Amino acid sequence: MPTDSELERLLLKRLRNPALYTKKILEYVSKNVPDAFNIACRKGLSIDEWKPDSSFTKSGVAQKTVFVTVRMFDLWETAIVDVLSEELKPLNIKVKHTHDAVGDLTFVFPSGETSVWELKSSQAKDSFTGATHSASKCDNYILINYGLNKKLKLNLTDNTGFVNELAVLVWKDMDIPWSGEPSKHSSWTTLKIPVTAFQRHPEIIVVGKLEPSRKNCRILREVMQ
């Protein structure tokens, strides 16, 4: 039987398989869009038809993006848990939702040892956003940056093409900080990828590309066919 350290390496290899995201997880998301946007799917409406920009306050598009991203998070997380539960069965590794002060996902090895990971999904340009981070958070991250076709009319069966752009980074022992502090009105923090961090860890790129700019990298999403 593989040791825990060997299983950790095998787990990381699975997590860094591009097809896991561009094929299996994306297919799961496309088929389960009604979990996040049931009314729009039942009525055959696009996101823009269901929630036009004008229905939001002054912040308009930004507020709408947050609204959609929050609904999509549970869908991404459920997709990752369900798909990986099947993928990791041959290794006898179990996957659990966690949602605690440490992380979102827990991988349980046959020995009972665990590996905890945080999931962040974002539509932000060249960055990732999330709730304010505490010192107790784990340093292992699955980072998903994506684009949506908000003009696609949704349905209850298959919404292939709804997620039309995707970038995924898988970063074990991330060594860069999130920026931002909680305020009266917001507890959101931002993560940008410094060029120096990318140079140290090119292996984190799974889907899409990081393009070095002056200080931080641009996130180049891959167009989904």
Per-residue tens of pLDDT for the chain, all 225 residues: 789 999 999 999 999 999 999 999 999 999 999 999 999 999 999 999 999 988 887 666 788 998 999 999 999 999 999 999 999 999 999 999 987 888 899 999 999 999 999 999 999 999 998 765 566 789 999 999 999 999 999 999 999 999 999 999 999 999 998 886 544 444 568 999 999 999 999 999 999 999 999 999 999 999 997
Q: Are 191 and 198 in contact (CB under 8 A)?
A: no
Q: Write out the residue range of the structural domain in which residue 148 sits.
A: 4-223
For the record, the structure tokens of 98 come out as: 């966690």
Rounded Cα distance, 71 and 36, in Å: 5
Strand partners, 94: 108
Q: What 8-state DSSP symbol labels residue 45?
A: -
Side chain identity, residue 204: I
Domains identified in the chain, total number: 1
HEC states along 190-212? Answer: EECCEHHHHHHCHHHEEECEEEE
Q: Are 120 and 112 in contact (CB under 8 A)?
A: no
Instruction: Give the CB-side neighbour count of residue 83, counting CA atoms within 13 A.
Output: 22
Side chain identity, residue 86: E
Placement of tokens 């700019």 in the chain: 213
Instruction: Give the CB-side neighbour count of residue 143, counting CA atoms within 13 A.
Output: 28
